[in-house]
Structures are given as C-alpha cells and as structure tokens.
Amino acid sequence: MKTALITGVTGQDGAVLAELLLEKGYSVHGLRSYSAVPDTARIEHLDDVVLHYGDMSDGGSLTRLIETIKPDEIYNMAGMSHVHVSFDMPELTADVNGLGPLRILDALRVLDTDKDIKFYQASSSEMFGRSPAPQSEETSFQPCSPYGTAKLHAYWSVRNYRDAHGLFASNGILFNHESAMRGEEFVTRKITKAIGEIEAGQRDKITLGNLDARRDWGHAKDYMAGAHAILQHDKADDFVLASGQSYSVRDFVERAFAVIDIQIEWQGEGVDEVGVNVKTGQTLIDIDPALFRPKEVHELIGDASKAKEILNWSPKISFDKLVEEMVQADRIEGKSPMMRAA
Ligand code: GDD
C-alpha cells in the first residue's frame, strides 16, 4: 500500500485528491494548519484521512512529519490561494507559497528516509501572467501578482532540487479548476452561490469586478487525477493541465443563469455596466471597482498537449457540465455543497 501526504488537505484540491487516493487504496495523511474556526468540512466524510497539524511556514513541523510518516508521495496543495488577497498580504504569500515548498524540498534533501519520496508542487497558470495565450510548458513567465511571483519561486525551486540534488520533484502547472467545493471567494463559486440565493429570494444581485477577464476553467476532479498521473510517470517533469478553451467571467455568468432559465442582457458600460433579467428587467449583476485587481491577468488558455501525449491525460468534464454541476449544487436549500460531497 502506498502512503501519501497531502498538504492543504482541507482545501478543494486537497479534499478531491484525498478522496481519489483513498479510492486507489492509498494510506492518506493530511497536513492542516491550525485554525480557530474548524476548517475540515470538505473532508468530514473521509474518515480514513489521518490529520496532522503543521504549517508551510514552520519548517520543523514539515520535516518531522515527513520523517514520521515516510510517505511515498507528497502533494503540496497548501497555500494562500487567492490572487487578489495576495496584493494585500504579499509577504505572507511569499512565505507560504514560495518558501513553503522549498522547506519540503530541503527536508527531502537532508532526511535519510530510505525512500525516494516523490514530490508534487501545485504550480499555477497565474505564473504565466501576461504572457500571450495559449500557454504551454515552453511559454515564458510574466507573473503580475504577489501570488504569481511566489508560485514562480516554488516552481524554480522544484526544478533546481530536481537538477541539483536528483530529487523526484514535479510541477503540475494547473489552469483554473473548480467544483461545488470551490471556496466562495473565487469568482465561479461566488456566482453559483449567489444564483442559489437569488433564486431562493435571499438576495437581489451579484456584485462583481472585471467581467472581461478570460480563464481556462476545468473540473477539479479531472485535474487531481492529472496531479496523481504526474507522480506516476517514470521521470520527474513539469506538465501543464488545462482544457484548452477560455471563457470570460461574463460568459460564466450567462451560462450559470441559463441553468435556472434566466437570460441576461448587458446594459451600460465600464463600472456602470449591469446585467439584467431579460424577462423581468431586474438588475442581477452590477460592478464594484474595488473588486478589480491592481494588475489583471487578462487571458489564460492552456496547451496541455504534453500531458496528453506523455501521461495520456485530458479533461473529461466539459465547461458546460461544470457550470451546471456548480449551479445545481448551490440550488439545494439547507445543505452546503461540502456536505453534499459526502
Ligand atoms: N475572485 C473574484 N471575485 N474574481 C473576480 C470577481 C470577483 O468578484 N469579478 C471578476 N473576477 C475575475 C478576476 O479579476 C479574475 O480575472 C477572474 O475573475 C478569476 O478570478 P478567481 O476566481 O479569483 O481566480 P484566479 O484566476 O485569480 O486564480 C485561481 O486560479 C489560479 C490558476 O490560474 C486560483 O485558484 C489560484 O489559486 C490558481 O492558482
């Protein structure tokens, strides 16, 4: 039986991956950082995950855990995942997202565990920043957020420890991936959650930022299967995982409302633009300039040809299916999507 350690096990990716690895017969350990408010809702149904306290900013805790568990595979899914918030907390973002993975890599370098532990780093398409789409493993990086620059530090640390010290360390450069377990601060879930509340008469509208940003959105289940495949490859390497299609935030809004049979018409321009219900004339979307980022990544479209060719990986769940699933999950009253995942 293989043993895996997942950092960030309480987040969307950690929870989806934990479930997948348990299904595959792994023994799964999860790192959770201390939080005054319980944060284990996404994994409450996964009784077999062994939880440990530790933190990406506490190197000693990481080293001790690796030494005790002696996992075959480590998946680093931990971090400060909100790009906008990273502008307000750049130092913490650099510490957790940039230095955190380095702490694990260095522990792997110095520890004598009698095992070649494989390390997966959750690298991000946000590292491409303003590099023109489509972006592949060969595309140059032009990050434009503290989040992106911190992720780039970790990306190069993985490559450096692989080349300099022979570690089995791989980067999965994942484009946006969502699910009903997505945090409510990310735009897709913010929209689907709000639609559920609008339908239930609990709110009137959704306030958003930049409607024209384009993202390559896929389903977290497909992408976590890809992360696992990356560590099963016989050689450590770096892979883009993406759908190859991009949609704007505006597209997402339109398709999400269409799931509950509401057609949106856009009126006005810039920060005065609104989205109205064609049938009733009710304003359902408006704009708050505070939700725009100091610097925006305009368009991400991934080219995952390498993963398809070498790992035989390609996403199975379409954009439309993803939107439908998220909206439907948020429609059910009185039960959170995290509970429904159980
Ligand atoms: N969050 C948010 N809230 N984003 C908004 C809003 C809003 O009200 N209105 C418009 N947007 C736009 C953002 O400006 C951005 O262009 C786009 O929606 C997507 O934002 P997020 O859902 O916050 O995701 P992200 O692309 O910044 O980052 C996600 O994907 C990365 C991979 O590229 C995160 O999951 C990162 O952790 C991940 O690395």
Give a three-class secondary structure readout of the chain: CCEEEEECCCCHHHHHHHHHHHHCCCEEEEEECCCCCCCCHHHCCCCCCEEEECCCCCHHHHHHHHHHHCCCEEEECCCCCCHHHHCCCHHHHHHHHHHHHHHHHHHHHHCCCCCCCEEEEEEEHHHCCCCCCCECCCCCCCCCCHHHHHHHHHHHHHHHHHHHHCCCEEEEEECCEECCCCCCCCHHHHHHHHHHHHHCCCCCCEEECCCCCEECCEEHHHHHHHHHHHHHCCCCCEEEECCCCCEEHHHHHHHHHHHCCCCEEEECCHHHCEEEECCCCCEEEEECHHHCCCCCCCECCECCHHHHHHHCCCCCCCHHHHHHHHHHHHHCCCCCHHHHCC
The predicted structure's pLDDT at residue 38: 81
The predicted structure's pLDDT at residue 114: 79
Per run of 10 residues, the mean pLDDT along the chain (length 342 residues) is: 97 98 98 89 96 97 97 98 97 98 97 90 98 98 98 98 97 98 98 97 97 98 98 98 98 98 97 98 98 95 98 98 98 55 40
Please tell me the residue having the least CA distance from ligand 1 atom 2: 187
The alpha carbon of 240 and the centre of ligand 1 are apart by a number of angstroms equal to 18
The alpha carbon of 164 and the centre of ligand 1 are apart by a number of angstroms equal to 34
CB distance 175 to ligand 1 below 6 Å: yes
The predicted structure's pLDDT at residue 336: 47
The alpha carbon of 132 and the centre of ligand 1 are apart by a number of angstroms equal to 18
The predicted structure's pLDDT at residue 340: 47
The alpha carbon of 185 and the centre of ligand 1 are apart by a number of angstroms equal to 9
The predicted structure's pLDDT at residue 333: 60
Ligand 1 mutation target, pool 84, 87, 187, 287, most atoms within 8 A of CB: 187
